[in-house]
Structure 1
Amino acid sequence: MIPIHPSGLSAPDPFLIAHGKLAALQRLWQKRRGERRVPSRGDFSFEDLGPWMGNLGILEVEPAPLRFRFRLYGTRLVDFDDCDFTGRYLDDVLTVEWRQRVIAHYRRCAEEARPVYTIGASGRKDWLTIHRLLLPCSTDGSSVDRIIVGLYPENPGRQSGWPSGRPGRSV
């Protein structure tokens, strides 16, 4: 577990999140957090997370050495990656050229106990952009031990984007 940084009370403004579904997920996280630094993963029921479930991952934070292991990998993400990463470590599934950059976002989320929102190239499929929202959770209230991640790939050249917009797929 990673100790919660005192600045963990601040978080990105949901209105600054460029993806509507992730902005709504951020608002739910804020609501479940209340006055605490971060909510517990147990504060979220499957019904609460239903609108995002296929695009969510839940990662366990292992402190020494710091690693992130997928406990859940959503069905739309499995379709996107053509692989289920449940049970696998984040550093094992990322390409070498993207590993440090992506893990830095998860490290920041865990160490600062703050949501992290990014938009960028997918790393796997350069024709896609990924919207990523990392939300820290703590079982004991003092250490981040889970991260809920919402991932929404989009193809900027297509309205519907993914998955039907992938090369090799009919529209």
Structure 2
Amino acid sequence: MDRATKSLAYLKSIHPAIQNSKAREFAEYWMSIHPGDRLPSRTHFDPIDIPSLLPNLVLVDVTREPIRFMVKVQGTEVTRAMRRELKGTYLDEAFPDFKQSFPHLDRVRVVETGLPLHRLGSPSLQFALDYAPIERLHLPLSTDGSAVDKVISIFLYEQKPDSTGSLI
């Protein structure tokens, strides 16, 4: 089985574990644009098709040797959660100890394997707001259909309830 076929099959296999409806919609959209015999490219992805998801998306360009990630697009919900815009910034320059964090390690895994990655849990980077679990899904994009040169991700933040049960 080639890399593109494995990638699509893998996302289908983890789809039932995706909890947030927006994350499921993002996964389903990626599967719908997947050409089958190669990984989808940025040209397959049309933001007009998923306007309600755009605030939660981050698109990074991948550079190699060493692997680094530069933010090309950052949705407004991500900007709000981080209280800063990272467009045009390498993530390892924006966050101390980034290379040991899940956001880095997860994206490296996507680049090296070509497989999507889903994670639900506490944030591993410092955010400006107080959040409970974050659900995130990182999906590979490839200009040549094989080598991952972009990773598009969705981040869904669940705010922690305060002592009265209201969301902070």
- State the SS of the aligned residue for 1:10: helix
CA shift, 1:38, in A, is 1.6
Tell me the amino acid that sits aligned with residue 147 of structure 2. S
Tell me the amino acid that sits aligned with residue 110 of structure 1. V
TM-score normalized by the length of structure 1: 0.82
The match for 2:56 is 55
The match for 2:9 is 10
Contact 1:9 1:37 in 2 (8 A): no
Contact 1:5 1:112 in 2 (8 A): no
Identity of counterpart residues, as a percentage? 28
- State the SS of the aligned residue for 1:42: coil
CA shift, 1:35, in A, is 1.1
For residue 136 of structure 2, the aligned residue among 123, 132, 135 is: 132
Contact 2:61 2:150 in 1 (8 A): yes
Q: How does 1:20-99 map to 2 (within 5 A)?
A: 20-96=21-97, 99=99
Contact 1:5 1:111 in 2 (8 A): no
For residue 145 of structure 1, the aligned residue among 146, 149, 160 is: 149
Deviations along 1:120-168, one digit per CA (max 9) or x if unpaired, are 212324643211100100011121111101001102537xx9xx944xx
Contact 1:128 1:156 in 2 (8 A): yes
Aligned residues: 158
* Structure-2 change in CA distance of 1:37 and 1:114 (3 Å): farther
- State the SS of the aligned residue for 1:43: coil
TM-score normalized by the length of structure 2: 0.83
Q: Alignment RMSD, CA only?
A: 2.3
CA shift, 1:115, in A, is 0.7
Structure 1: distance between partners of 2:50 and 2:37 = 20
Query: Where in structure 2 are there 5+ consecutive unaligned residues?
Result: none
